[in-house]
Amino acid sequence: MFKYIARRILFLLPVLVGVSFIVFSLLYITPGDPARMVLGDQATEEAVQEFRNKEGLNDPFLVQYGRYVYKALQGDIGRSYMTRRPVSDEILSAFPSTIKLAALSMVIAILLGIPFGIISAIRQYSLFDSVTMIFAMVGLSMPVFWLGILLILFFSVQLRWLPSSGFDSLAAMILPSITLAAQSVAIVTRMTRSSMLEVVRQDYIRTARAKGQKESVVIWRHALGNALIPVVTVVGLQFGHLLGGAVLTESIFSIPGVGRLMVEAIKMRDYPLVQGGVLYIAIAFSLVNLLVDLVYAWVDPRIKAQYK
Amino acid sequence: MNEQTEKNIGQSQHGLKEIFKRLSRAPLAMIGLAIVVVLVFTAVFADYIAPFGYADQDLMAAFEEPSKAHLFGTDEFGRDIFSRIIYGSRISLQVGFIAVGIAVFAGGFLGAIAGYYGGKADNLIMRAMDVLLSIPSILLAIAIAASLGPGLFNLMIAVGISSTPNYARIVRGSVLSIRNQEFVEAAKAVGSSDLRIILKHIIPNCLAPIIVQATLGVAIAILTAAGLSFIGLGIQPPIPEWGAMLSGGREYIRDYAYMTVFPGLAIMITILALNFLGDGLRDALDPKLKR
């Protein structure tokens, strides 16, 4: 087991190097001179050149990339053009809201998706199943930003039940988390259902039924554990979608998270902040995936056995 | 040889017919297909269908509720929302199909090489794909679109690249399962080049999962593109893009809700149709589910 964990953590390194390379390359090819962006339009040509030399902006691509990684390891990924503050500070102060939003939506997705999926599978082709599947399909097809707007329209503007912006009270968290969770609920439901249906057709389930085992025990003890293994993977991948979707959700509900920060930054052409947000979210996503893989190894004895 | 080829062609036609027959038994898939056909039709003939031009301003008629003259009402510049949605289908379908086209070609190419040659090439390509996959796809699209700058073409590239790894994975998987089959060995034995084997023998045999993924992929691409326009990347005004229309209408949500309702509905119906069709295709093409 230890070997597996060590291997999996080692696997993270090339991914992080790769992500930083992509983020740096995108910054590099972005039109516009970073020196001009920092110094402003009034700066003299000499001041710009001096800045370029001082910051090493005239060095070859790979040298600059090396310096970027070296600095990034010390937590320095540049300064925001807008606020002149370090990008890391900006992002880290916004990060808790984003993580909270994504985690809350994840919990909603699991709490709704898994039970609905199981019941749909047990009662395949029933009315419950058909209705759930249609809802899941609609949820899958609903643009996050549109759902958010409709919820605001209905619950904030019409009924005046819930606030339409902010993220500091429980009431304010309800609409954004539901908005962001909708697609994941649909995906988890569909995945749980199809995985459950596949497991239920297996021979050992037939055996359990044949020996006269109670149906509830067959489902809960024999089928569920195996059916949930692929669901764990999907849930882990969903976290990435949630972090990405948070960018849109935050900008709809004016939540002070990384996503809104990035959207503001896009409007102001503050590229270091945009790419910094991507870097941080990719790292968070990779760590979550690592966690999911470890959970996976823990619940699936076949993986444990490989690394005994 | 000739007889054999003829038989093969006959078979594949039969296969297509069979697939379509199975598809036609799935009512939701047929509804999806019908909607997609209608959308393509409106996109192609937008000039004849739309009662107004997409940039025709009439400030005297701004903020008009839906009526006979303006089916979906008018926006803050008095532009007809119905016409803008009709023209918007052009943009969304273009982005959807071309972005997926880019992803299928790039991903298919990389996946085929990785799967066919294995070894170092496989390792290198698939690790690179893993890196791309470790960035949530909408974020990757945002990052690329932000540095390429605004524009329809850049939007397509951003969305296309962000979904390339999925196709690389699928094609690689299919190639791996086919690579060692007898007909491939036979082709090698008669001296076919690698390129010919990949293009003529391997790709046609793993088309099914690519078609399914591509259909669902167009839906995802349209959704991603709309999301990008919504936050101000990609399409520039006055070009009518559904996501951008939604974002523009957001300011007036308290008084003129219809401005956000209709573009959102257009996106959702399009995505729903593509998802229905994709699901139906998967069932029709999956041999495990043959009845």
List pLDDT tens digits, range B28-86: 889 999 999 999 999 999 888 888 888 778 777 777 788 877 778 887 787 888 889 99
Confidence of residue A240 (pLDDT cuts 50, 70, 90): confident
Residue B279: closest C-alpha in chain A: A137
List pLDDT tens digits, range B78-134: 788 888 999 989 999 999 999 999 999 999 999 999 998 888 999 999 989 988 888
Q: Looking at the predicted complex, does its ipTM rise above 0.90?
A: no
Cβ contact A244–B267 (<8 Å)? no
Residue A258 lies in a domain: yes
Cβ contact B230–A248 (<8 Å)? yes
Residue A269 lies in a domain: yes
List pLDDT tens digits, range A71-109: 888 888 888 877 888 888 888 988 899 999 999 999 999
Chain centroid to Cα B111, Å, comes to 19
Q: Over the range A193-217, which residues count as b (16 or more CB within 10 Å of their CB) and which as e?
A: bbbbbebbeeeebeebeeeeeeeee
Cβ contact A241–B136 (<8 Å)? yes
Residue A290: closest C-alpha in chain B: B134
Residue A209, CA distances (Å) to A121, A194, A212, A215, B136 in order: 17, 20, 5, 7, 42
Task: Determine which of A81, A149, A247, A293 to mutate to test the interface with B (most B C-beta atoms within 10 Å).
Answer: A149
Chain centroid to Cα A122, Å, comes to 30
- Min distance A9 CA to chain B CA atoms (Å): 14
Residue A36 lies in a domain: no
Residue A29 lies in a domain: no
More confident residue, A305 or B2: A305
Going by C-alpha positions, the residue among A285, A245, A217 that lies closest to residue A108 is A245
Confidence of residue A11 (pLDDT cuts 50, 70, 90): confident
Cβ contact B143–A263 (<8 Å)? no
Q: What is the pLDDT of residue B11?
A: 45
Cβ contact A153–B132 (<8 Å)? no
Residue B270: closest C-alpha in chain A: A141
Cβ contact A240–B136 (<8 Å)? yes
Instruction: Report the C-alpha gap between A308 and B81 in whole angstroms.
Output: 64
Q: What is the pLDDT of residue B2?
A: 45
Structure tokens given for B106: 């790039």
Which residues on chain B are in Cβ contact (under 8 Å) with A152? 253
Cβ contact A282–B226 (<8 Å)? no
Residue B271: closest C-alpha in chain A: A141
Cβ contact B264–A31 (<8 Å)? no
Instruction: Report the C-alpha gap between A55 and A59 in whole angstroms.
Output: 9
Residue A65 lies in a domain: no
Taking each continuous run of H as one helix and of E as one strand, the counts in chain A are 14, 0
Give one DSSP letter per residue of B215-260, joined into a string.
HHHHHHHHHHHHHHHHTT-S--TTS--HHHHHHHHGGGTTT-THHH
For the cut 60, the answer to whether the pLDDT of residue A177 exceeds it is yes
Which residues on chain A are in Cβ contact (under 8 Å) with B226? 143, 145
Residue A115 lies in a domain: yes
Cβ contact A143–B243 (<8 Å)? yes
What residues make up the domain containing A293?
A: 88-306
Task: Determine which of A98, A146, A193, A291 to mutate to test the interface with B (most B C-beta atoms within 10 Å).
Answer: A146
What predicted TM-score, i.e. pTM, was given to this entire model?
A: 0.86
The structural domain count of chain A equals 1
Going by C-alpha positions, the residue among A161, A179, A168, A298 that lies closest to residue A232 is A298
A235: CATH: 1.10.3720.10
Cβ contact A266–B137 (<8 Å)? no
Residue A189 lies in a domain: yes
Residue A19 lies in a domain: no
- Min distance B28 CA to chain A CA atoms (Å): 10
The three-state (H, E, C) secondary structure of A139-190, written as one string: HHHCCHHHHHHHHHHHHHHHCCCCCCCCCCCHHHHHHHHHHHHHHHHHHHHH
